[in-house]
Chain A
């Protein structure tokens, strides 16, 4: 282990100094050069190093971030109560709205089990990360030896844990107390619900980059979620829609979330369609998480 050649005593060096992403100071990417840069000395040391490779995911830093997010939520018990209770209350409401037609409740209820976690996690994540961006804590974090992947994974882990509790309660309530008639295993319902929650977290993280205020962040909910809600097959089968809309619904991830729920509802085994649906939802979540990571900038104007 070598130290940087400073006149500081070695005890001042934190062990994290030896980052694997070290760049030589002369290592320069073309993007470091601004067209306005006419300084003759600029070639030796660029002041601009956005091209630094992102730090590798660190398990300790990711779990520390997740624990911090959960600790923040713990100081806000009302939000936790709302997140966990509202889906349950909506399911109870729905059950008695369709009191005379339990078949309808089966269909809509199963779909909603997948949609609730997506919406809640979308809202919570977009507001939480927006706060992180506007309060300056994100800038501070990114000036520390923390990888962007650590931030994203920390949030996904914390809200994922919360989503497990929310989905487990809602699924348990629907299946055992409200008599939701599922042919397949309730565990598969839970799996889809969890992936939906992850997708919601990913979407929330992504759109928070485009919101300048909490007002805007909340408005992104109808913009991002409502079209998917209308097109996902909840109100009418997707095959009955205008062909153009059906094509659009084919590329929206929520359609596959609802499809997956319905597969579990009607089939005892894991069908090929179910596996496809699960993979698509998971893939979309990962893709959007990656896009979300790209919106975290160490350097801002």
Chain B
């Protein structure tokens, strides 16, 4: 009943398709919040099974873009297709894992109770109890919180609570993970472990990841990058191609180069007016 014929439908069955339909496709995507236009006519794609980094300074619209993809943002216009459906489509709810910037878990439940509840929402019924238990245990292990499984979420550190929030998103084997600044406030060891987990998810479980960050050194770990500034997309490319194109050594330098370029272009436009 979900078979949706159309040009965007990827071929069935074969997983390692080199050019599958993108996980996310946006065209003319515009979001208005109150008097402000937060996103202006965005056009981009997020390829399947890869890690796409969404980078840009605070307040450039990263979170709004992620909320639009997940389907929790109001006032979204233009085209936004996610996994072959318009964003916010009811069938997408069990196929997308979403982690907000602030950890959204119940502080007065233990780690395991938190996960058990969200698992029961994704996969309800008594018959699924064993499968749920397995998923919960795996998700806790994925984020390295097994030793804290029976601690109240409210008693954990900020970074640990963030990982509980991430574990919730890993439940139910989502096809698309949308992670809003998942590594903020984590020590370098944990950050490395999480990035290893992200790569593992993409490589072995075929998960598509969209990860936002304002830390540019994380950009080097992504397969593709979307660089954002003031509600617009400055670049949509691989880290290597970005560096080559701008002649910069790092993604950070490439980003600054692009920002200066955009600002200069804006000035010329104004002066010719």
B78 close to A (CB within 8 Å): yes
Closest CB in chain A relative to B94 CB, distance in Å: 5
Contacts A7-B48, A55-B90 given; does A48 touch B77 at CB 8 Å: yes
B168 close to A (CB within 8 Å): yes
* Residue interface mask A244-286, B partner, CB < 8 A = 1: 0000000000000000000000000000000000000000000
In the bound complex, do residue A140 and residue B104 qualify as a contact, i.e. CB atoms below 8 Å apart? Answer: yes
B266 close to A (CB within 8 Å): no
Query: Please, which residues of chain A bring their CB within 8 A of the CB of B109?
Result: 68, 71-72, 75
Beta-carbon contacts under 8 Å, B10-26 to A: 10-15, 17, 20
* Residue interface mask A1-36, B partner, CB < 8 A = 1: 011111111011111111101111100000000101
B222 close to A (CB within 8 Å): no
* B90 partner, pick from A6, A22, A58, beta carbons under 8 A: A22
* Residue interface mask A94-125, B partner, CB < 8 A = 1: 00000000000000000000000000000000
Residue of A21, A49, A300 most packed against chain B (CB within 10 A):
A49
In the bound complex, do residue A39 and residue B98 qualify as a contact, i.e. CB atoms below 8 Å apart? Answer: no
In the bound complex, do residue B106 and residue A39 qualify as a contact, i.e. CB atoms below 8 Å apart? Answer: no
In the bound complex, do residue B87 and residue A2 qualify as a contact, i.e. CB atoms below 8 Å apart? Answer: no
In the bound complex, do residue A42 and residue B11 qualify as a contact, i.e. CB atoms below 8 Å apart? Answer: no
In the bound complex, do residue A2 and residue B1 qualify as a contact, i.e. CB atoms below 8 Å apart? Answer: yes
**Residue of A at shortest CB range from B103?**
A136
Closest CB in chain A relative to B36 CB, distance in Å: 10
Query: Please, which residues of chain A bring their CB within 8 A of the CB of B70?
Result: 143
Closest CB in chain A relative to B188 CB, distance in Å: 27
Q: How far is the CA of A52 from the CA of B90 in the complex (A)?
A: 7
**A-B contact list, 22 entries, CB within 8 Å:** A5-B12, A6-B84, A7-B20, A9-B15, A14-B94, A21-B90, A22-B90, A42-B79, A47-B86, A47-B87, A48-B76, A49-B71, A60-B125, A64-B120, A72-B106, A72-B109, A135-B104, A136-B104, A142-B72, A146-B121, A299-B71, A299-B88
Contacts A14-B172, A16-B122, A41-B78 given; does A48 touch B88 at CB 8 Å: yes
Query: Please, which residues of chain A bring their CB within 8 A of the CB of B113?
Result: 68, 71
Query: Please, which residues of chain B bring their CB within 8 A of the CB of A300?
Result: 72-74
Query: Please, which residues of chain A bring their CB within 8 A of the CB of B11?
Result: 7
Closest CB in chain B relative to A7 CB, distance in Å: 5
Query: Please, which residues of chain B bring their CB within 8 A of the CB of A67?
Result: 117
B226 close to A (CB within 8 Å): no
Q: How far is the CA of A39 from the CA of B41 in the complex (A)?
A: 9
Query: Please, which residues of chain A bring their CB within 8 A of the CB of B89?
Result: 23, 25, 49, 52
B261 close to A (CB within 8 Å): no
Query: Please, which residues of chain B bring their CB within 8 A of the CB of A68?
Result: 106, 109, 113, 117
Beta-carbon contacts under 8 Å, B102-137 to A: 102-109, 113, 117-118, 120-126
A227 close to B (CB within 8 Å): no
B30 close to A (CB within 8 Å): yes
In the bound complex, do residue A49 and residue B98 qualify as a contact, i.e. CB atoms below 8 Å apart? Answer: no
* A49 partner, pick from B9, B41, B86, B107, beta carbons under 8 A: B86
Q: How far is the CA of A297 from the CA of B71 in the complex (A)?
A: 11
Query: Please, which residues of chain B bring their CB within 8 A of the CB of A82?
Result: none
In the bound complex, do residue A19 and residue B90 qualify as a contact, i.e. CB atoms below 8 Å apart? Answer: yes
In the bound complex, do residue A47 and residue B79 qualify as a contact, i.e. CB atoms below 8 Å apart? Answer: yes
Q: How far is the CA of A25 from the CA of B8 in the complex (A)?
A: 12
